[in-house]
Chain A
Amino acid sequence: MSTPTPPDDLRDQLGELLPRLRRFARVITRNVQDADDLVQTAVEKALARAAQWRPESRLDSWMYGIMKNAWIDEIRARRRRERVHAPPEAGEAVGDASAHARDIALSVQAAMERLPEEQRLAVALVLVEGQSYKEAAELLGIPIGTLMSRLARGRAALQDMLGEVQ
């Protein structure tokens, strides 16, 4: 029952990708611990399914898709268990930053946390991870028009919460 050994170049690329996967996970889970658990789950899944990965395709998109699915599974499982989601630990979510930059980051993160799941995913993929509309729509399994409408609604909501940008 041993799985085939994933190719080393997949491991290498995954290793390089970890910081970005953690960032994406942080956006969608809104919680440091959940985020790293999600990355771990996704990396394990990716290694187990290494045969499905085509070296010529984009590993980041593939991983974001795995993470998105794993997170949705996790949310559903939690709802089934009727467990209340732990409040996000905003303070932990900040890396190096001046106090001012940190305040802004915190308020943006707080606003992001209040977005509905599907809007947050769209914003995370396009604005944070820099995926194109097409890539984001494909990995979310929705038409581009739907992606754009979620993205636009998410941005409008963020704009409202954050106030007018100078």
Chain B
Amino acid sequence: MKFSDEMLMAYADGELDLVTRAEIEAGMAADPEVSRAVERHRALAVKVKAAYQGVLDEPVPASLASLAAAPVAAPVVSLGAERAARFARKASSFGWGYPQWAALAASLALGIMVGVLVMRGPDAPFTGTSGGLMARGELETALTQQLAGSMGTGAPQVGFTFRDRSGAYCRTFHLQREAPLAGLACRAGEEWRVQVLAAATERADGLRPAAAMPMAVLQAVDAAIDGEPLDAQAEKAARDAGWQAPPDVAE
């Protein structure tokens, strides 16, 4: 063959100068084998690129996004509405499949894979919606009604409450399913959107103070919190007001 494989490759990649290109095109016209070789290069290039295209659609882990988003001293976790909405759009009508759960877990900073497969069905504590992953069932009830520190056994427990930078109320929680889970949910309209979910370690006495929160949840809290957690009185007032974000108070 008149042309080297590297030349044909470079032609397929659009890397040749005009003159050489014309020579190769003449060669392709004269010899179908040359055309086929170029076509093989092109087809392989398309295949290889396509094989990794899916990575671009994956949610960027919060730990990475926050790294690029703000100075290290004040990271901002943006595992929020947009990403959750993207998850939900991908989820098909029959609910979140394993890949979505896996993707969510993988996106949660530490990449802990929790036993989420059991969390589907009518009494699931979460549901994927167009607005993100929303708390449901007993978790939703606990987030809406429970005051921090009131200890139930086995049921979801609310850790503490704070307001994020947008003014919305956020609450940490523990949940006992297949495995102990901890997370952070923030008020979104009339619902609680789960921002972070991670495997938790359980203490022998069943008490789970904030200190027992997984690092992923604590980081999300640190990134989101505006000021200090609410005290008991403020928390109760917020609950009684239906968790509506109060208008911003000038400092």
Q: Which residues of A contact B (CB under 8 A)?
A: 5, 11, 14-15, 18-20, 22-23, 26-27, 32-33, 36, 39-40, 43-44, 47, 92-97, 101, 104-106, 108-109, 112, 123, 126-128, 130, 132-133, 148-149, 151-152, 155-156, 158-159, 162, 164-165
Contact = CB atoms under 8 A, between A and B. Distances in A.
B47 A156 contact: no
Given A96-B90, A158-B44, A23 B65 contact: no
B64 interface: yes
B54 interface: yes
Nearest to B41: A155
- In this complex, the member of A14, A19, A39, A155 whose beta carbon has the largest number of chain B beta carbons within 10 angstroms is A155
- In this complex, the member of A108, A123, A162 whose beta carbon has the largest number of chain B beta carbons within 10 angstroms is A108
A111 B79 CA distance: 33
A114 to B, nearest CB: 13
Interface stretch (B4-12, B24-32, B159-167, B227-235): B4-12
A152 B60 contact: no
A40 B61 CA distance: 10
Interface stretch (B68-76, B114-122, B242-250): B68-76
A23 B72 CA distance: 24
Nearest to B60: A18
- In this complex, the member of B40, B43, B52, B71 whose beta carbon has the largest number of chain A beta carbons within 10 angstroms is B52
Contact of A151 (B9, B43, B60): B9
A18 B55 contact: no
Given A40-B64, A106-B51, 16 more contacts: A18-B65, A22-B60, A23-B55, A36-B63, A36-B64, A93-B55, A94-B54, A95-B57, A96-B57, A105-B50, A123-B48, A151-B9, A156-B5, A165-B40, A165-B43, A165-B44
Nearest to B59: A19
B56 interface: yes
B53 interface: yes
Contact of B47 (A14, A19, A104): A104
B45 interface: yes
Interface in B57-116: 57-58, 60-61, 63-65, 67-72, 90, 102, 106, 111
- In this complex, the member of B39, B45, B64 whose beta carbon has the largest number of chain A beta carbons within 10 angstroms is B64
A128 B102 contact: no
Nearest to B56: A19
A40 B63 contact: yes
Given A15-B65, A39-B64, A96-B90, A152 B9 contact: yes
Given A26-B55, A94-B54, A96-B54, A159 B44 contact: yes
